[in-house]
Structure 1
Amino acid sequence: MTEPSQHDADVGGAHPLLVLASASARRIDLLRQIGLEPDLIRPADIDETPRRNELPRLYAQRMADEKAAAVTSTLSEAALVIAADTVVALGRRILPKAEDRDTARHCLELLSGRRHTVLTSVVVAPTPAWNKGRHGRRLVETTVTFARLSPSQIEALLDAGDWAGKAGGYALQGHAAGHIRFVSGSASAVIGLPLFETGQLLRGQPGGWLA
């Protein structure tokens, strides 16, 4: 746990904790990139099944909201919770998180030679014990285009293994980067946390969390 002196906000003589509602190593690394170390890592245990006919944008927002709510409800301490959800969409279609090789292959075959959208919703939510905190949310949309992938290239990406658990079956910071022709928008949002928008939400908190 980091020393509370990293925060300037004062809550009855104690500093609110910074809590990340995710065990994602990439989100932890992204926070560290802007000089933040979560005091607690508290993954949200929620049902992530899309609703029938749910649009990608609404799904990303709902997931981030539900993750934040699930974690804030478990904390009695004064804290600010950061939650995020990343969705890869082909039009109105939500691509799954790849938990097995066949799912990852299917996603890559769909994305090959095509432009798609990555939607990342980030939420900052204070716990009830920190009544000075402000609830905020941002949705970031990024366009990504893959080059056309040959069957052997897809198999090589699958062999690399960094697709596991990734929305759409690829990681922008992984081996797939060598096949991505175009990115328009926030690269950090595609990786899992839009740093500019997260920073803006934190700067808007009482006491200032970032310079």
Structure 2
Amino acid sequence: MDKSGNEIQEEYSTQHFGFPPKTFLDNIGILILERVSNVLKGVQTVLMEKCPDSKDSIPSAMSHLQKDWLQATQESLLQLNKVLLQEILIVPKDFVLPEDRVHVGKRLSEEKKEFKILSAMFEDKLFEIKRLHAYKKCLEEKVSELTSIDEEYSKLLEEWNSKEAVLDIQGLDTIMQQMISKCGLEGYDEKSHDLKERLSS
């Protein structure tokens, strides 16, 4: 049967301190309560001897007093026990019972394996991040290169369009000259002759 967490903790505490702290504190609390009860009984006896006229009312008054004192004492003891168990009577984390050392060693071995696996995964992720970073840098360089090419192409296209417009004008002049030559209008002067007159002659 597996032990509960409280049972294991109590066993460890008993082995470390040489006594079960909770049981020890409970026994001290019982002794204190018994001592308070005995003191109150002694006070009651003295009062009954010193005040025989109040003999009948003293037991009732002392009973209420004893109840209040015991309740207050018990509450104080509970708070004290809580502080002692949580802050003072603490088993060190590295304390291991002989029969549990095998299990602890096995657990540590498993944790070590898990750590190695996680470490390898971390290294893989780190390598992947570095690779992506290098790829991103390469893409940025390619984008910059393509941007430069695009700008250069735009300049060349603009120059080409300008030259093409000039060529179109020059080509038109050539065609006109050829037409004039074929029609025998080589000496045509627009300022001094009329095109219709030359064509009719």
TM-score higher than 0.5? no
Structure showing the higher strand proportion among its residues: 1
Give the TM-score normalised by the residue count of structure 1: 0.24
Structure number with greater Rg is 2
Give the TM-score normalised by the residue count of structure 2: 0.24
- Bigger RCO of structures 1 and 2 (CA < 8 A, at least 6 apart): 1
